[in-house]
Structure 1
Amino acid sequence: MADKSTDKRADKNPDNSKSSSFQIRLAHQRDVPHISHILVTSFYHQCPPLLYPLAVWSISLDLGLRLLDYSPYYACLVATSILSSEAIATLEVNLKDIPTLKSGKSDYWFNWHTTEQPYISNLAVHPHWRGQGIAFKLLTTVESKVRSWGFKYVYLHVLDSNNSALKLYQLSGYQVYKIDPEFSFNPFTSGKRLLMRKAL
């Protein structure tokens, strides 16, 4: 499954956190069906109805395998409804090779190198639960986890055309770190892909 940063409709108001109606915890295998439906609804909402079950099955298989990987630097978080205990939002973080600029060097291509850094992906909120601060709460929770791992920064990608997601990240303290050149002129995207970073 391709990395996704956030559903563009995930959370328009990060300060409107009604946390009394939901809680954040680590995902379990029993959450996979709900998470898969949330991801397909959020990132593949234009998927033809006949292909929807296949998309859910594919994501379920992939996610189920990731949850079996007990890496100390991987986590899948879910927000669950207090009433039903069902997953209503999700986010993943793991280590990924990220282009980083050598300390004190100018922004030329030969001064960039890749290092494994914490990377957030697949942030999505169920349509019925958007606008309640859930995405913001997931971000702050995962940032605490990354900090406990001993890292100073966390990274994610977002399209510059995804205004609501970009606003959420900026309000959460993320700053544009690099523009991915290979994405800048991709005819299948509606904007440039921005690598954002937050100091923890």
Structure 2
Amino acid sequence: MIDINLKSDIIIPFDKIGDNGWDEKSKLIIESLAENWSNELQAPISIEEIENLEKHLETSLPNGLKIFYNTFGISDIGEELQRFEDIMWMKDLWEEDSPYGPDFSNEDKISLPHLITFSNYLGNGNMFCFHNETKEIYYFDHDTKPFITKMFHNVDDYLKGCLIFAQADLFGEVEQEQVEKWTEEIAVDLFGKDIVRKWRY
């Protein structure tokens, strides 16, 4: 199990999913999180199940996401990857002209028809989505207008960021607050201050 006492103990699991050793480093983080929270590890998802989801959505998933599902299933990555039955087109979450749905801006409406949800941010109603054409990652923040922000060029960076931030729960002799600070510093170096601020604050 990972035991973080120094900033250098924090693992950056990969540059790109599929790189040499990406699965070993990711597995160490995922298994450490499961042990820390006394959770069961999730089974890999078969290629057939992934292809069935793509047929249902009538579009392909980002390649990195498919590889992750096929290797680690719906694992705990610090944020809540959606079950396959919950993955859907964002535009279908609310009925058209629903008084209870978000008042999307004109800017939001450009990307909205292309977005498919796949991850919930801390269960607060915010979600991460991928673009059906570009496979870029967008963030839906129900508190801030415009509600939709492009965050990452690919899903690999999102999953990498989650696995880095999640290691704040694996603190050893140092305070968790210190490890949280270290993970944020690493994320800022990788993704930039603006992305981290939007994501975490």
Q: TM-score range by the shorter chain?
A: 0.3 to 0.5
Which structure is richer in relative contact order (CA contacts within 8 A, separation 6 or more)?
1
More helix as a share of residues? 2
TM-score (norm 1): 0.33
More strand as a share of residues? 1
